[in-house]
């Protein structure tokens, strides 16, 4: 599973909305991939803030946005990577 694929399903995965085989592949990827592991933690941080009725940390939101942008650019340069 590539970082691009993980980025697409990461939010659903953390919400428990992916099927079991997808969840397993994402879990394996975020363990091995430092960047996606960090983003998974960032997603969780934001979800926890929202669950507590707090505004999500602006820095976490910005980090998440730049992750998505970087992956979108990387996907253009390396199709299928």
- Which stretches of the chain bind Zn ion, using CB under 5 A? 3, 33, 36
| Closest to Zn ion by CB, 12 or 49 | 12
Nearer to Zn ion, 35 or 47 (CB): 35
Positive or negative torsion for Cα 8, 35, 33, 47: negative
Q: How far is the CB of 40 from Zn ion (least distance, A)?
A: 10
8 vs 48 by CB, closer to Zn ion: 8
Burial (CB count within 10 angstroms: exposed 0-12, middle 13-18, buried 19+), residue 54: exposed
């Amino acid at each position: 599973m590539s970082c691009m694929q993980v980025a697409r399903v990461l939010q659903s995965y953390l919400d428990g909305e992916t099927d079991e085989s997808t969840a397993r592949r994402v879990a394996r990827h975020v363990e091995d991939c430092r960047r996606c592991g960090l983003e998974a933690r960032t997603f969780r941080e934001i979800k926890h803030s929202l669950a507590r009725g707090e505004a999500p940390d602006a820095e976490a939101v910005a980090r998440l946005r730049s992750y998505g942008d970087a992956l979108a650019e990387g996907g253009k340069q390396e199709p299928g990577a």
